[in-house]
Amino acid sequence: MPAHLATPERTSQSDASSNPERRHRHLGALIGGIAAAVALVAALVATAGGGPMRAPAIGPLVRLGGGPPVSLPVVRAGTTPPITVHPTAVVFFASWCPPCRAELPTVARVARQEAASGGTVAFVGIDGNDEPAAGLAFVRASGVTFPVGEDPDSVVAPRFGLNGYPDTVFIGADGDVVGTVRGSISASTLRGWMGRLAAR
């Protein structure tokens, strides 16, 4: 504390501080501070790193609006084990989630362009924690053409380590989770990840 702030009150405080308890307090503060710092560093080290996660096998889920059921990962047609999978963008959303409503039409547009240009990246939607009827109306209004699985009890998202909506998960041809974009995704971020998936 700067000396110019010293006042009579401050002086009386100094008298009180000659109390031997003070030294213990300082020591306690020091130990506490060091313990907090050590614990923080330990946590940062412990949570850092970790290799790529294998995409969990999901499904078959009921397909929104009818049609063949939806499973993950998306297996490439006509292959025998070892299974190769389509590089896949898995889009998690719910009709009641405002950022999802803003995002899904963009994702749907990019997916249509990918399909029209004969691209390799498959799209799968997961309508989680939602009324199927509301989900279907939302998906139709957004111009979605890729298969969407119903997940009313939201069991799929937690298996990918996700904890909200929206999210986009990218699965490589080797079946590993290559990346996860939490929250709304923009068209340019989505295309960036699709390029990375195709290049693997």
Partner 1 sequence: MTSLSPALSGIRSHGVKARSYVALTKPRIIELLLVTTVPTMFVAKGGVPSVRLIALTLLGGALAAGGANAMNMVADRDIDRVMHRTRHRPLVTGEVTPTAALVFAIALEVWAFAELWAWVNLLSAVLALSATLFYVFVYTLWLKRTSSQNIVIGGAAGAVPVLVGWSAVTGTLSWAPVVLFAIIFIWTPPHFWALAIRYRDDYREAGIPMLPAVATIERTAVEIIAYTAALVAVTLVLTPVAHMGVLYTLSAAVLGALFLVSAVRLYRDRTPRAAIALFRYSITYLTLLFIAMAADVLVRLH
DSSP 8-state symbol, 40: H
> Which amino acid, residue 56?
P
For residue 141, state whether it binds partner 1 (rule: CB under 8 A): no
| Inter-helix orientation angle 187-199/98-116, to 10° | 50
List the interface residues with partner 1, window 99-118 (CB under 8 A): 99-100, 102
Nearer to partner 1, 146 or 165 (CB): 165
Element (H, E) at 148: strand 148-151
Choice from 88, 95, 142, 184 touching partner 1 (CB under 8 A): 184
- Give the residue from 50, 36, 70, 34 showing the smallest Cα distance to 144: 70
List the interface residues with partner 1, window 55-94 (CB under 8 A): 94
Nearer to partner 1, 33 or 69 (CB): 33
Nearer to partner 1, 19 or 79 (CB): 19
For residue 134, state whether it binds partner 1 (rule: CB under 8 A): no
Q: How far is the CB of 189 from partner 1 (least distance, A)?
A: 11
Question: How far is it, in rounded angstroms, from Cα 171 to Cα 200?
Answer: 11
Q: Tell me if residue 75 falls in helix, strand or coil.
A: strand
For residue 46, state whether it binds partner 1 (rule: CB under 8 A): yes
Choice from 20, 23, 42, 200 touching partner 1 (CB under 8 A): 42
Q: Tell me if residue 182 falls in helix, strand or coil.
A: strand
